[in-house]
Structure formats: C-alpha cells, structure tokens
C-alpha cells in the first residue's frame, strides 16, 4: 500500500495535470470559435464561383473543359489528406487515417495506382511509416491558415490533374458538425463532374435562371476559373478541418480534465483512509504502551 507521502504527491501531480488540460481546453474553445467563423465566412465565396461556373456550362453549349469530364481510364488516383500537426485531439487523426488507409487498400493493388498529398505532420508520418507514396506534403501550418499558406500545394495538385499525373482527386478530411462531433468525409474534387451534372439539371429549369454577360468570352473565363475553384475547395476543406480539430481537441481536454477530477477524488479518499488507519494505529500503540506500564 502506498504511503501517505506518496498519495499526497500523486494528488499534487494530478492537480497540476488538471490545470494544464483545463487551460488547453479553454484555448481550444477560443480557437474553435474563430476557426468556425472563418470556415462559415468562406462558404459564400466558394458557392458564388460554383454558381458562375455552372451558369457558363449551362448557357454555352460549345464550351467544355477537361476538368469537367470523366476520363475513360483511371491510371492513378490522388488523395489529399488533411490531418493535424499535433496529437492530444482524441480520435481526430486516427479515425480519418484508418478510413483513408482502408479505402486505398480496397481500391488499389499497387502503389503506382495512387499518390498522396498530405497536409499535417501526423498524416505525413503515418503514410511514410507504411511506405506509401507521399507526393507532396506541408506541415507546420498556422492554426488559422491563409490561402497563401497552401496556395502552392493546391495549385500543384490541380496542375498534376491537368497534366494527367492524376486522373481523379479525392479530398479526405474531418467535416465539422458541432463542437463535439466531426465526420470523416471523402469528397471528389476532380474532375468537377458535379458541376456538369448541375448544369444539365439547370438547363431543364431555365425559368428564373440568371443570365450573365461575360468579358472576355466564356471559354477563357472557364479556363481561369475552374482551376481556382478546385483550389478553393481544398482551402475550404482545410478551414473546415481546422474547426473540427479544435472541437476534437477541446473535447479531449475536457475529458482529460474530468478524468483528473475523478482521479483526485479517488486519491483523496485513499489518503483519508490511510491517514485514519495511521491515526488508529498510533492510538492503539499509545493504549498498548500505557497498559504495559500499569
């Protein structure tokens, strides 16, 4: 059985741990509010680009673009995986990486059939440890990243699709649902077949459709706008993933704080019992000594 001094030391160290986890929970909560606001504020921008591109595809029959068309043969698939740079965020990384790894193993028989673009140190280390082909990586991102922070890797990935290094590209990240809930999400961002399908559907519902005047011509605008739209999808998903990360980290630290409280209660109870036993022992020794002298 541990001595009173040992139990008291454990209580003290657990209280210090609780102070740290409580502080980390408060910091994560503050970062979550900011990250959630930035993710929500970016959505109208992405939606407006989508609206314009869909309008061009809908209203101009002779305009097409390779980014809107499925390729007949898929030789290599690209996966953009967004993780955190640090741990202490519960199952935020493990759930995402486990699902990504499972899908890759199911879909591909060779490393030549896929390539990985990873944002985050945890994901980078996970894939490299397993010898999986990491073609691009970025680590050490700011807690509240700007578009300029990932501009190069986003542009390069889109260009790899244009150059047919990738024949399709998927995004894997944790979608923010609430402060205590995140959902592992896969989204196909290239080719942008969803836009082509939307254009076809909208073409059947011309009533109430907005008509745009384009300068320069629609084909030139589409050439410039489609790559940028794909890049905004990557950046928007990163903002979404960051909000999820802070939510997961806040929940993990709250759970750790609660566990520390429970442990302190258990140790305090053990301390009081041990102290009571020591006092009883001392009383018995005093009574026994007095009886021996009488």
pLDDT string in tens for the chain (294-residue length): 678 888 889 999 999 999 999 999 999 999 999 999 999 999 999 888 888 887 776 655 555 678 888 888 999 999 999 999 998 898 999 999 999 999 999 999 999 999 999 999 999 999 999 999 999 999 999 999 999 999 999 999 999 999 999 999 999 999 999 988 999 999 999 998 776 566 556 555 555 555 667 777 777 888 888 889 999 999 999 999 999 999 999 999 999 999 999 999 999 998 888 888 878 877 777 777 766 666
- Rounded-to-10 torsion of CA 43, 214, 158, 35: -20
Q: What is the dihedral of CA 271, 276, 281, 282, to 10 degrees?
A: 100
Q: How far is CA 156 from CA 45, 105, 128, 185, in A?
A: 22, 25, 20, 22
pLDDT on residue 206: 53
Residues with catalytic function: 89
Rounded Cα distance, 139 and 127, in Å: 14
Specify the pTM: 0.86
Q: What is the distance between the alpha carbons of residues 55 and 87, in angstroms, rounded to a whole number?
A: 43
Q: How far apart are CA 285 and CA 5, in angstroms?
A: 21
Q: What is the pLDDT of residue 64?
A: 67
Sheet holding 134-138, edge to edge: 134-138, 114-119, 77-82, 168-178, 181-190
Per-residue confidence (pLDDT) for residue 186, from 0 to 100: 96
pLDDT of residue 254: 94
The pLDDT assigned to 36 comes to: 93
Q: Is the peptide bond before 92 cis (omega within 30 degrees of 0)?
A: no
CATH architecture label of 26-251: 3-Layer(aba) Sandwich (3.40)
């Amino acid at each position: 059985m541990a001595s009173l001094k040992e139990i008291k030391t454990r209580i003290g160290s657990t209280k210090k741990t609780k102070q740290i986890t409580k502080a980390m929970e408060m910091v994560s909560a503050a970062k979550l509010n900011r990250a959630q606001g930035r993710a929500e504020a970016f959505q109208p921008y992405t939606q407006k680009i989508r609206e314009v591109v869909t309008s061009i595809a809908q209203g101009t029959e002779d305009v097409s673009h390779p980014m809107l068309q499925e390729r007949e043969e898929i030789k290599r698939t690209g996966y953009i995986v967004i993780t955190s740079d640090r741990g202490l965020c519960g199952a935020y990384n493990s759930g995402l990486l486990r699902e990504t790894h499972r899908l890759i193993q199911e879909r591909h028989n060779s490393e030549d059939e896929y390539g990985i673009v990873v944002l985050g140190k945890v994901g980078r280390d996970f894939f490299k440890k397993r010898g999986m082909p990491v073609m691009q990586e970025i680590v050490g991102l700011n807690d509240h990243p700007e578009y300029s922070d990932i501009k190069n890797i986003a542009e390069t990935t889109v260009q790899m699709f244009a150059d047919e290094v990738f024949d399709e590209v998927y995004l894997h990240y944790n979608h923010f649902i609430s402060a205590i809930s995140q959902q592992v999400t896969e989204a196909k961002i290239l080719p942008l077949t969803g836009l082509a399908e939307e254009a076809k559907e909208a073409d059947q519902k011309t009533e109430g459709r907005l008509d745009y005047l384009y300068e320069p011509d629609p084909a030139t605008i589409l050439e410039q706008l489609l790559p940028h739209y794909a890049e905004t999808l990557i950046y928007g998903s990163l903002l979404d993933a960051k909000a999820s990360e802070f939510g997961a980290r806040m929940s993990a630290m709250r759970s750790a704080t609660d566990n520390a409280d429970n442990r302190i209660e258990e140790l305090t109870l053990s301390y009081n019992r041990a102290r009571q036993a020591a006092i009883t022992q001392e009383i018995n020794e005093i009574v026994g000594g007095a009886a021996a002298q009488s």
